[in-house]
Structures are given as C-alpha cells and as structure tokens.
Amino acid sequence: MTLDFIVGIMAETIRVTLLVSAPVLIVGLVVGVVISLFQAVTHVQEMTLVFVPKIVACLVTLVAALPWMINLLVSFTHNLFINIPTYIK
C-alpha cells in the first residue's frame, strides 16, 4: 500500500461521510434560517422556538433519506471488504 492509495481511501471515506450527513445538516440549516427570519420579522425572541421544528424536520429527513444512506454505507463497506486482498499486496 502506497501513501497515495491510503490518501485515496481516506478521501473516499470523507466523501461518503459528507454525503451521508448532508441531507440532515442542510435541512437543519434551512429550518433554522427560516425560523430565525420568522423571529426577526415578528420580534418573537423565544430561544426554544427553534428546537422543536428543527428536530422534527431533521427526523423526517432522516427517515426519508435513511434507505439511501444505508445503501451508500453498505456499498462503501462492501467495496472495502471485497478489496482487502488487493490492499495487502
């Protein structure tokens, strides 16, 4: 195994991690911005108002994207395990 090969595996791991976490993080960001805009327009400065909608939106996104996330993680792990003999060379 060369250094380039190890860096390639690490880059692929980071890419898969970002892809798996992106849907939930993006939805959480969008919901947070929308709630903040609502609070700024209405002058309602309740700190706990952000948490419940954000949690609900993130859970709905997680349930909706879970099959895709699992498929991506399983295929990545499967490719790592299948290629173990070539990594040892």
Q: Would you kindly state where each structural domain of the chain is located, as residue ranges? A: 3-88
What pLDDT was estimated at residue 89?
A: 74
pTM of the model: 0.82
Tokens of 85: 């003999």
Task: Report which of 30, 20, 26 is spatially closest to residue 67, judged by C-alpha positions.
Answer: 20
Q: Does the pLDDT at position 72 exceed 90? A: yes
Residue with token string 């498929």? 71
Distance CA 60, CA 48 (A): 19
Distance CA 34, CA 27 (A): 11
Number of alpha carbons in the 13 Å side-chain half-sphere of residue 58 = 14
- pLDDT grade for 49, boundaries at 50, 70 and 90: confident
